[in-house]
């Protein structure tokens, strides 16, 4: 459905997207998982032709991206991270405007608007000005506008940022529903739990580079059975770096001021580890343990947590 090959984009000489390649298959939800500034939105903006790539190619249904091709515009829906709504008019008026831009009119436009308002639970306030909506309602209407023309490929750029749990639940349910009905979705997020819940496959991206891609299960195998232990407290850098020499198969993942992260085999007891920390002069203020997960993969690949 969507093929991205060797895509690159720089701003002021700094690579924002660094020669990335991935494929989104027809009917799947493909997650783009990474922190703010990782290159997710830049990639989305190139796919929907708001930005021109420095190099690389983008193909939709086997055809090179051409924003002037009516059929390609019709089959592509975009929900941007920034709210793309007019605040001084109603939800219905916003949807009429966006629907007409997509070439919808008459009974078809009316039916699609009614379907979207119902789907996102906005029908009872459809004639109210958008400026009076909550953040969650605006996010849901933003999605409705991008889905109004029933696109074959939908690009969702952080659609749940800054909203309440109820609105997030509605949006995630809608994504699951349209995927079951055959819509292909590229979903960018920095919420690990969303990627785990929604995505058939995903790519982990940071600093413009894809670090890993595949199913959640295949990506999680990168860390094997190891647990990740993050220690905050008082210790010397020398002690932190020496510890892996004292504990078999212990690996140092990252070291910062008053924080160190290790990878520890599951068979090695936490009690033994804590005992060794004490012998090494660690004063522990906080210790957290992460079992094998997407989050632990991200820590292994980048040396930091996703929300850092």
pLDDT 10s digits, 180-213: 888 999 998 888 788 878 888 888 888 888 888 8
Tokens of 228: 């990740």
CA distance 82 to 116: 19
Tell whether 42 and 114 lie within a shared domain.
yes
Identify the pLDDT of residue 261.
83
Element of type H or E holding 95:
helix 91-101
CA distance 263 to 206: 20
Q: Provide the pLDDT confidence category of residue 57 given band limits of 50, 70 and 90.
A: confident
Q: Provide the pLDDT confidence category of residue 281 given band limits of 50, 70 and 90.
A: confident
Residues 6+ apart with CB under 8 A from 291: 227
Residue 20 structural domain: 2-217
Task: For the chain, give the number of residues.
Answer: 308
Query: Which is more confident, 50 or 28?
Result: 28
Is the residue at 303 inside a domain?
no
What is the 8-class DSSP label of residue 73? Answer: H
Identify the pLDDT of residue 111.
93
Tell whether 162 and 208 lie within a shared domain.
yes
CA distance 33 to 188: 6
Identify the pLDDT of residue 71.
62
Q: Provide the pLDDT confidence category of residue 68 given band limits of 50, 70 and 90.
A: low
CA distance 35 to 41: 11
In sequence order, what DSSP letters do the residues of 282-299 get, joined into one string?
-EEEEEEEE-SSHHHHHH
- Domains contained in the chain, number: 2
Radius of gyration of the chain (CA): 23
Is the residue at 297 inside a domain?
no
CA distance 118 to 95: 13
Tokens of 292: 């094998």
Is the residue at 73 inside a domain?
yes
| Residue 52: φ, ψ to 5° | -95, 125
Domain boundary among 199, 217, 235: 217
Instruction: Compute the average pLDDT of residues 65-87.
Output: 78
Query: Above 90 in pLDDT, residue 107?
Result: yes
Domain boundary among 193, 217, 241: 217
Tell whether 138 and 259 lie within a shared domain.
no
Identify the pLDDT of residue 69.
65
Query: Above 70 in pLDDT, residue 9?
Result: yes
CA distance 65 to 223: 37
CA distance 40 to 205: 8
3-state secondary structure at position 235: coil
Query: Above 90 in pLDDT, residue 74?
Result: no
Tell whether 208 and 90 lie within a shared domain.
yes
Tokens of 307: 């929300």
CA distance 140 to 120: 6
**What is the average pLDDT score of the chain?**
84
- Looking up residue 160, the CATH number of its domain turns out to be 3.40.50.300
Q: Is 70 exposed, middle or buried (0-12, 13-18, 19+ CB in 10 A)?
A: exposed
Query: Above 90 in pLDDT, residue 58?
Result: no
CA distance 44 to 158: 11
Q: How far is CA 141 from the centre of its chain?
A: 20
Tell whether 185 and 231 lie within a shared domain.
no
CA distance 186 to 203: 11
Which tens digit of pLDDT belongs to each residue from 210-222? 888 888 777 776 6
Determine the Cα angle at 182 with ends 159 and 160, to 5°: 10
Identify the pLDDT of residue 251.
81
Query: Above 50 in pLDDT, residue 89?
Result: yes
Which tens digit of pLDDT belongs to each residue from 124-153? 999 999 999 988 889 889 999 999 998 899
Identify the pLDDT of residue 308.
46
Which tens digit of pLDDT belongs to each residue from 218-277? 777 665 567 778 888 888 888 888 888 888 778 888 788 888 888 777 666 777 778 888
Percent of the chain whose pLDDT exceeds 70: 91
Tokens of 275: 């005992």
Tell whether 145 and 282 lie within a shared domain.
no
């Amino acid at each position: 459905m969507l093929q991205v090959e060797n895509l690159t984009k720089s701003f002021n000489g700094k690579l924002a997207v660094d020669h990335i390649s991935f494929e989104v298959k027809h009917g799947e939800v493909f997650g783009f998982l990474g922190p703010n500034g990782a290159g997710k939105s830049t990639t989305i903006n190139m796919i929907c032709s708001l930005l021109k790539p420095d190099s690389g190619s983008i193909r939709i249904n086997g055809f090179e991206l051409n924003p002037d091709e009516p059929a390609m515009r019709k089959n592509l829906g975009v929900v941007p991270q920034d709210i793309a709504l007019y605040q001084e008019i109603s939800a219905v008026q916003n949807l009429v405007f966006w629907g007409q831009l997509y070439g919808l009119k008459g009974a078809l436009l009316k039916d699609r608007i009614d379907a979207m308002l119902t789907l996102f639970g906005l029908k009872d306030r459809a004639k109210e000005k958008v400026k009076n909506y909550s953040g969650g309602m605006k996010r849901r209407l933003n999605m409705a506008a991008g889905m109004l023309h029933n696109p074959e490929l939908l690009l969702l750029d952080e659609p749940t940022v800054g909203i309440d749990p109820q609105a997030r639940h509605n949006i995630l349910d809608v994504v699951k529903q349209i995927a079951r009905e055959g819509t292909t979705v590229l979903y960018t997020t920095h919420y690990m739990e969303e990627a785990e819940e929604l995505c058939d496959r995903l790519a982990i991206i940071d600093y413009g580079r894809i670090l890993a891609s595949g199913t959640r299960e295949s990506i999680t195998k990168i860390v094997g059975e190891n647990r990740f232990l993050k220690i905050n407290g008082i210790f010397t850098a020398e002690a932190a770096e020496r510890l892996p020499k004292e504990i078999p198969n212990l690996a140092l993942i990252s070291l910062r001021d008053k924080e160190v992260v290790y990878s520890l085999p599951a068979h090695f007891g936490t009690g033994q580890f804590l005992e060794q920390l004490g012998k090494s002069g660690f004063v522990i203020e906080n210790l957290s343990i992460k079992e094998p997960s997407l989050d632990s993969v991200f820590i292994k690949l980048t040396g930091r947590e996703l929300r850092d």
